[in-house]
A and B are shown apart, each in its own frame.
Chain A
Amino acid sequence: MSEPVLVVENLTVYYYTLKGIVRAVEEASLKAYKGDMVALVGESGSGKSTLGYSLLNLVPPPGRVVKGRVIVGGVDILSLRGDELRRARGSLVSMIFQDPFTTLDPVRRVGDQILEVLLEHGVPLEEAKERVVEVVKAVGLSERMAKAYPHQLSGGQRQRISIAAAIALKPRVLVADEPTTALDVIVQKQIMDLLDEIRKTTGMAIILITHDIALAAERASRIAVMYAGRIVEYGPKSKVIENPLHPYTRALLQSVPDISSSEWPKPIPGMPPDLRKPPSGCRFHPRCPLAMKVCREENPGMVEVEPEHYVSCWLYARR
């Protein structure tokens, strides 16, 4: 396999709040190749969005990347500073967000907002104008809509504009943070189809951050399951869905409602832990039906159980 376009190594991000240190992401590692769609699945507060922000070195204060590396196209994003970092955002790695109603500037024409991204990265004005038209068409909107203000567009149209602004410079990696959560199901499908198309035609790797494991199962090429700040299982979609190894992944899959089945979805008992005081050892052990003594004492390392399929669980690890 060729070189990965995104390598995340031992990424650790803490929020230094007044009430204590929130260990939002701990020792996360993953890889994405050209044209990959890696789904980062987890509950609210599992650290998946924080991980997403770190890919752009954009963790909001009081958060800080404590250690780790994020390499996009050979460049360590976390080592960049100042203008270098700014230029990397948008051109190497870009991001779209959950709420297309608030992520566009309400008082500027959407086309101008896309144009600005190009100009800010040194594209000459004439060329930039042409690129705006191109990219607006590429996301399935008519050229004229570039002249609209955000409030004149529907949610789906706005999300398409956000995508257009994010991919205008053809970044290697696009982080999509719950891109369809605020949209209705029909529009959701259209937006996901668009992201699929972009990744296939441009080879952009997309990191899809979602709480919806069903969506991940449908769209992703790889899945990383996060729990309480740690990636607990990671591998190609088919392997993770058909052969889930981690008890949390299994529980998550069983909690998805299935109308063709007579069985009720099973909720996972208990609550996710407070990340200011994460449980010792494996962070899932208080809710794990298979917890052993060792789970309380030590965190299991990542084990490659089958090719490309990694899990962090004492059931598979050897001490």
Chain B
Amino acid sequence: MTRINTYKYVECCSDEARDLRWLFMGLLRYVAIRAALIIPTVLILYTLVFIVLRILPGDPVLAVLGTKNIPPEQLEQIRHNLGLDKPYIVQYFEYLWNVLHGDFGTSMIISGRSITVDLLERLPATVELAVAGLLVSLLIGVSTGFLAAVKRDTKVDLGLRVFGAVTYTLFIPWLGLMFQLIFAVWLRWLPASGRIDPDVSLRTITGFYILDSILTGNIDALRSALSHIILPALTLGLVLSGPYTRLVRSNLIKALESNYVFAYHARGVRSSKILLHAFRNALIPVVTYAGLQFALLLGGAVLTETTFDWPGIGTYLVEKVGYRDYPAIQAVVIVFAFFVGVISLIVDLIYALLDPRIRY
């Protein structure tokens, strides 16, 4: 869908008008096509997960009852109540129909529990952690990559590259436990797990605790929410930072060796400014990677969430898969697929903002 614009410069109208027309005409069409493409993506993923769930051994009824010593009639009754006795094709379309009407159904495990409510509660937690983790990884990765490129082939460069490689290989639960041990148990600086102190009262508006506590001016809640997110965000961010180090380093080195940097020097532009220009060029590929990473994180940073008992989509999914809670799992997958589509669309738009060569 992305194409490199090779149009020659033609004079037709004022630059502002032309720029705007470029942006709107192309952009609208592009966004429309990309948005439309989200539909088949979601459908395919839903179909796949529907099939896989039914192929997997075990079913919600047995998972809940935990035993097979039940009169068959009662078993049939429960299955009937859950709609599991209907043909697969009917189950497939019924659920799809409900989702289209904004209803993700009710849990098969906790009867009457609305999955939509669950998701609305869990998603903000995951998004909050994803954003924080991404910010930390970008902060660490981009700054180390920048420094490594500037100090190229020195001990600093070598050290930072080793750091990037080592952190990338760390196992999240281990790192999380170490952080908990050091900062929560020994130093007692930060809480070990959870999202907020249970005794802090916070009126939720958006479900994002940090945002909500700012909106309601609740300093205690803000402090509590922030202190809870530091360790999981640091764990996640540290492990995810390695690729950014490499990406930024190699791209910045490539940019600094490019002809336009040499030309900048020849025209007497300050080195610090040249470095900034090269840095901007080097950051373009980073946006793509960060976008992909963020989309993945929205699916729930399962390991981080379980390590820190973070009530997000990741822990939710693990729990629901354990119980074969069909509609809940399907709902998570559908929402995830939708988010991946939206995020990659946003990434493409940011890309176009950074790189004038990309136009849609």
Give A residues with C-beta under 8 Å from B. 56, 58, 60, 86-91, 94-95, 97, 99, 102-109, 116-117, 120-121, 142, 144-145, 147-149, 151-154, 157, 162, 165-166, 169
Contacts and interface: CB of A to CB of B under 8 A. Distances in A.
A221 B165 CA distance: 58
Contacts, number: 97
A90 B258 contact: no
A99 B259 CA distance: 8
A144 B18 CA distance: 12
A108 B355 CA distance: 9
B266 A152 contact: no
Given A94-B267, A106-B355, A154-B8, 12 more contacts: A58-B265, A86-B268, A89-B265, A105-B260, A108-B277, A120-B267, A144-B15, A151-B4, A151-B356, A151-B357, A157-B9, A166-B267
B11 interface: yes
A90 B267 CA distance: 4
Given A97-B263, A99-B259, A105-B277, A88 B354 contact: no
A276 to B, nearest CB: 23
Contacts of B263: 95, 97, 103-104, 162, 165
A128 B214 CA distance: 45
B250 interface: no
Given A90-B267, A95-B266, A97-B263, A151 B5 contact: yes
Contacts of A116: 269, 273
Contact of B280 (A99, A103, A107): A107
B6 interface: yes
Question: Top 5 nearest A-B pairs by Cβ distance?
Answer: A90-B268, A89-B268, A102-B259, A95-B266, A103-B263
B6 A151 contact: yes
- Max chain A Cβ within 10 angstroms of own Cβ: one of B4, B8, B260: B260
A234 to B, nearest CB: 24
Contact of A107 (B11, B266, B268, B355): B355
B24 interface: no
B354 A87 contact: no
A103 B268 contact: no
A162 B357 CA distance: 19
Interface in B214-248: none
B357 A102 contact: no
B186 interface: no
A148 B8 CA distance: 10
A229 to B, nearest CB: 21
A123 B181 CA distance: 59
A147 B260 contact: no
B259 A97 contact: yes
Given A102-B259, A120-B273, A90 B281 contact: no
A199 to B, nearest CB: 18
B262 interface: yes
Nearest to A82: B271
B189 interface: no
A107 B7 CA distance: 16
Contact of A117 (B268, B284, B356): B268
Contacts of A95: 263, 266-267
A95 B267 CA distance: 7
Given A144-B11, A147-B15, A153-B9, A58 B266 contact: yes
Contacts of A87: 268
Contact of A106 (B9, B260, B268): B260
Interface in B128-154: none
A148 B9 contact: yes
A89 B15 contact: no
Contact of A56 (B6, B259, B266): B266
A120 B273 CA distance: 9
A248 B273 CA distance: 44
A91 B269 CA distance: 11
Nearest to B281: A107
Interface in B1-39: 4-9, 11, 15
B270 interface: yes
Nearest to B6: A151
Interface in B282-317: 284
Nearest to B5: A151
A43 to B, nearest CB: 22
Contacts of B357: 106-107, 149, 151
